[in-house]
Amino acid sequence: DAGVIQSPRHEVTEMGQEVTLRCKPISGHDYLFWYRQTMMRGLELLIYFNNNVPIDDSGMPEDRFSAKMPNASFSTLKIQPSEPRDSAVYFCASSFLVPYEQFFGPGTRLTVL
């Protein structure tokens, strides 16, 4: 199994631009999580899905952030418009049945200038 796949691995953009991060979970996993990691705040959960349905999006910072999971094998996290304070590493993780043993993707390092 290829594990959780994220793309792009690095993204540099200018303030105001739209950014789309992509995630392919491990096949057969029914939970998908989006996390953000910064030096100041550490790892934070943004949103998670169960069977493609968003369960808890209370960690999404504001309306500029949105996430979708159109099918079991693909999810996107979109930031529009992006701001410098969104610069962070964004991780996607997936798990099977219960949201305990999570498998993390390699992360996307986002820099907003």
Partner 1 sequence: KNEVEQSPQNLTAQEGEFITINCSYSVGISALHWLQQHPGGGIVSLFMLSSGKKKHGRLIATINIQEKHSSLHITASHPRDSAVYICAVIPSKEGGSEKLVFGKGTKLTVNP
Distance, CA of 30 to CA of 28 (rounded, Å): 6
Q: Which of 44, 51, 85, 97 binds partner 1 (CB under 8 A)?
A: 44
CA atoms within 13 A on the CB side of 106: 8
> 3-class SS at 17?
coil
Q: Specify whether the backbone of 55 is left (phi greater than 0), alpha (psi in -120 to 50) or beta.
A: alpha
Cβ distance to partner 1 smaller for residue 74 or 103: 103
Stretch that binds partner 1, among 16-24, 41-49, 65-73, 77-85 (CB under 8 A): 41-49
Q: For residue 20, which of 85, 64, 57 has the smallest C-alpha distance?
A: 64
The reply to whether 5 sits near partner 1 by the rule CB under 8 A is no
The reply to whether 90 sits near partner 1 by the rule CB under 8 A is no
| Least distance between partner 1 and beta carbon 26 (Å) | 13
The residues that touch partner 1, with contacts defined as CB under 8 A, are 33, 42-45, 48, 55-56, 58-59, 89, 91, 93, 98-104, 106-107, 109
